[in-house]
Amino acid sequence: MSFRRLFLLLCLIWLILDSSLLFRGRVLPWDAINEFYPTVYFNAHGLRTGELPWWNPYIYGGYAQIGDPQGMLFSPLLMAWMLLPADPGATWFSWGVLLHMLMGATAMLAVLRRHGTNAFGSLVGAIVYMGGGVAASRLEHVPIVIAYAYVPLVLLALRHFLATPGVARASLLGLAAGAMVTQLVQVTYLFVIVIGAYACVALVRHWPVYDASRRRAVAGGLALAVVAALAIGGPQLVFSWSAMVMSNRSEMALSDAAGSSLDARAFLHLVHPNAFGGLSDFEHASVDPVQAFLYIGAIPLLALLGLGRAWRSGYARTIVCFGALAVAATIYMLGTHTPIYGWLYGWMPGLVHFRRPSDAAYVLDVALAFLAGIGASRIDLRSHRELTVLLVVAAGWLAIAATTMLPSRATTFVAPAVALVALWQVHQRHDAWRAVVWLLVVIVADYRMFNFSGRFLTSPNEAKRYLDSPEVAYLKQALGTNGASPPARIATRDAGAIWDDGGMLAGIASTQGYNPLRYALYERWYRPRENTLVNVPDSPYNAPPLARLDDLLGVRYLVLGKGRPGAPYAPPSHYRLEKSFAYVDLLRNDRAYPRFLNPRRANVLRVEEAPGVAAFVHTDFAETLWLTPRDADDFASAVTDASSCHGAVALDPVRNTPTRQELHTRATSAGWVVAGELDHPGWQARLDGKPLPIHRANGMFRAVCVPAGEHRLSFVFRPWDMVAYAWRHRG
């Protein structure tokens, strides 16, 4: 059967499996809709309007978006997709992610064909890759999904290059690898190791048969591929490295991986989709039904029995290779439940940045896709007896799984019923192609009933509901989001996950966010949450009843959710209820400071010295600032400026974009300008185009001493300055 027809059949299967997301108004759930869609929307909007999205002013009081390893700013196909419409919605975003999965499945189809599998085996492997195990249950983790989608593409490009090395094929290999590397997540880390090992094995096999000119072509081509990969993935690597140096995750303890290490019970999901009730009773499952969902389907699992025939027919090396990969992935997934992960943590470079050993389930999926495809190729599609046994066992297997779903989902009996219909159809008129079609129908029914029916697949479009809500409309008007001055901010409490990053969609700046990576200085002083579901103690400098850091950040409203379990939150005493909506209350803070202040007095502390909590929270920051130097140079400069900088400065905001704020200043003598913005490396101050030293003030903010006269003061974020700072302060 031609590859074109196989591809069209694969597209049809993709449409059926993902129909809930593609055609029914649903969107990818949880992290995808609450964190990654707003992030990618912000990136696309910035690129489209020319307001480059290097710095994100909408979360965590300001955030170095360009350094976010999960920000997907450099992801070529996803960003190109999001730039096509003027206002890409969450449904469009979901389509973009799923098209990546189709791309990866198509490449897997081609790779399996090059490994010698027949049409049925290639389709089985591609389907397992596209919808088996965590490929279905963890679609919410979009950067991981994007990285996973490029893996077969890189493998295919590598095989084409090794077969016929040349400049064009080397460039394609490098571009595919670079596109994968733009997703700096643990899955990418693991697959770089896997693909590197795969390339080494392939080179060892091919090298003896290459002549001298072919060897030179291969060596030169691989060098070109590395250069091309670095050209695509290098910027993300550099910027993310610099952000990690200054983040709360410069290094993670081994114990942080314990919560996402799968125990042996998880592997029951390989054969039972509803093990521990994860599909029928999601909230009460004793084993995580998302990270531990490993089911690849009854027919693909039965196809693994064909590996014995494949071994005898010349596939021994391939089976050993991918069997070893499956074993290695399994051991890695167990994480801290074995001493092996601790040993790896001690010597593998980069592993200290990751906390989820269960991510290796994606590696297991690829290994099982290869093994299932090879095994399925050895099924005798012309044997009545073999097909009968296969379909009878599959029907019984699916029926047992379906009984565990009752009474919540009686429709799951569709899958075993389809297997019985397939058995009857094959016996009615038996030919190999008819058998292939019906076996594929059984696989699709199996996946549709289990892998693609769980709560982990879809959710309502919370982003649209958020944008259409009256509370968001009220805030946009009350905060004034389109002026020359940075708008006031909000803080959130128990308001729902979409409020963490949703401000990126509406132009509402928040002190909170939804991201595991946060600036260490902000983490230390403000103590933001990773997301709204995680409770952390308030910073002593921002605790009720005064919440002084919120005042300094310009928090004009507190968005307080209704109906969350647990002890009710007591807001600062001076916050007053301004508006009540169905799900949230808006509390107004009239003590919030403007985004730029002109205090006359300065208290200079030493490096690493913090002001006393009582003195800090009772400071009138419009009159007094605390100079809290970041280093010795800042301290020396701050002492000098503090002795002469006491004047009144008139401030007129001129321009405000995510990466630039400009003000017109007028003063008869030198005076302070303190911005309610983070003192984050990469931000530079310029006075009439010339550099002006920035001092760290009030713990985590920026302050400059402006000389007398009329001037143009600019704060500009330059990513390469952030990289330079990280390089100077590495280690």
For residues 393 and 355, membership in a common domain is answered with no
pLDDT of res. 67? 97
Phi-psi region of 187 (alpha: psi -120 to 50; beta: other; left: phi over 0): alpha
SS3 state of residue 63:
strand
pLDDT of res. 523? 97
pLDDT per residue as tens digits for the range 341-372:
999 999 999 999 999 999 999 999 999 999 99
Alpha helices for 58-164 (secondary structure H): 76-83, 90-114, 119-131, 134-137, 142-163
Whether residue 411 has pLDDT greater than 90: no
CA distance 695 to 620: 19
pLDDT of res. 490? 98
CA distance 177 to 636: 47
CA distance 594 to 554: 6
For residues 350 and 489, membership in a common domain is answered with no
pLDDT of res. 410? 65
Specify whether the CB–CB gap between 508 and 471 falls below 8 A: no
For residues 176 and 261, membership in a common domain is answered with yes
SS3 state of residue 419:
helix
For residues 150 and 271, membership in a common domain is answered with yes
Handedness of CA 44, 46, 47, 49 (dihedral sign): positive
In the chain, the percentage of residues whose pLDDT exceeds 90 is: 87
pLDDT per residue as tens digits for the range 24-79:
889 999 999 999 999 999 999 999 999 999 999 999 999 999 999 999 999 999 99
For residues 502 and 612, membership in a common domain is answered with no
pLDDT per residue as tens digits for the range 310-334:
999 999 999 999 999 999 999 999 9
Could you give the count of Cα atoms lying within 13 Å of 514 in the half-sphere of its Cβ? 25
For residues 375 and 306, membership in a common domain is answered with yes
Provide mean pLDDT across the span 129-148.
Answer: 97
pLDDT of res. 565? 63
Q: Is residue 33 situated within a structural domain?
A: no
CA distance 690 to 387: 79
Question: Can you give the pTM of this predicted structure?
Answer: 0.96
Q: What is the 3-state secondary structure (H, E, C) of 148-185?
A: HHHHHHHHHHHHHHHHCCCHHHHHHHHHHHHHHHCCCC
Q: Is residue 180 situated within a structural domain?
A: yes
CA distance 226 to 415: 46
Specify whether the CB–CB gap between 596 and 676 falls below 8 A: yes
Q: Is residue 563 situated within a structural domain?
A: yes
Copy the structure tokens of residue 74.
């450099």
For residues 249 and 143, membership in a common domain is answered with yes
Q: How many CB atoms lie within 10 A of CB 72?
A: 23
482 confidence band (pLDDT: 50, 70, 90): low
Domain closes at, from 459, 479, 494: 459
For residues 575 and 544, membership in a common domain is answered with yes
pLDDT of res. 660? 96
**Domain of 645, in residue numbers:** 596-728
- Which of residues 572 and 483 earns the better pLDDT score? 572
* Backbone dihedral angles phi then psi of residue 227, each to the nearest 5 degrees: -65, -45
CA distance 102 to 105: 5
Domain closes at, from 550, 565, 588: 588
**Cα 98 vs. chain centroid, distance in angstroms?**
15
Cα 90–Cα 92–Cα 94 angle in degrees, nearest 5: 70
Q: Is residue 52 situated within a structural domain?
A: no
456 confidence band (pLDDT: 50, 70, 90): confident
| Cα separations in angstroms, 106 against 132, 196, 384, 568 | 15, 22, 30, 51
Q: Is residue 355 situated within a structural domain?
A: yes
Q: Look at 286-290, 435-439, 663-667, 676-680 and tell me which has the smallest mean pLDDT.
A: 286-290
Provide mean pLDDT across the span 402-409.
Answer: 80
Domain closes at, from 536, 558, 588: 588
Q: Is residue 8 situated within a structural domain?
A: no
Specify whether the CB–CB gap between 698 and 603 falls below 8 A: no
Q: Look at 175-184, 275-284, 671-680 and tell me which has the smallest mean pLDDT.
A: 275-284
Whether residue 428 has pLDDT greater than 90: no
Q: Say how many Å lie between the first and final Cα of the chain, rounded.
A: 57
For residues 367 and 280, membership in a common domain is answered with yes
Whole-number average pLDDT of the chain: 94
Q: Is residue 702 situated within a structural domain?
A: yes
Provide mean pLDDT across the span 572-599.
Answer: 95
- Report CA Rg, the chain: 29
| Cα separations in angstroms, 636 against 348, 552, 599, 641, 715 | 41, 25, 20, 9, 22
CA distance 626 to 633: 17
| Cα separations in angstroms, 225 against 91, 110, 134, 217, 218 | 35, 21, 30, 12, 10
CA distance 491 to 512: 6
For residues 293 and 418, membership in a common domain is answered with no
Specify whether the CB–CB gap between 559 and 490 falls below 8 A: yes
Buried/exposed 657-673: b ≥16 CB within 10 Å, e otherwise = bbbebbbebebeebbbb
Whether residue 564 has pLDDT greater than 80: no
Q: What stretch of H or E contains 619?
A: none
Q: Are strands 601-604 and 624-627 parallel, antiparallel or unpaired?
A: parallel
567 confidence band (pLDDT: 50, 70, 90): low
For residues 202 and 293, membership in a common domain is answered with yes
Whether residue 481 has pLDDT greater than 70: no
- Which of residues 277 and 678 earns the better pLDDT score? 678
Q: Is residue 23 situated within a structural domain?
A: no
Specify whether the CB–CB gap between 314 and 402 falls below 8 A: no
> Where do the DSSP E strands lie in 444-542?
489-493, 509-510
Whether residue 301 has pLDDT greater than 90: yes
pLDDT per residue as tens digits for the range 675-727:
999 999 999 999 999 999 999 999 999 999 999 999 999 999 999 999 999 99
For residues 202 and 215, membership in a common domain is answered with yes
- Please give the tally of structural domains in the chain: 4
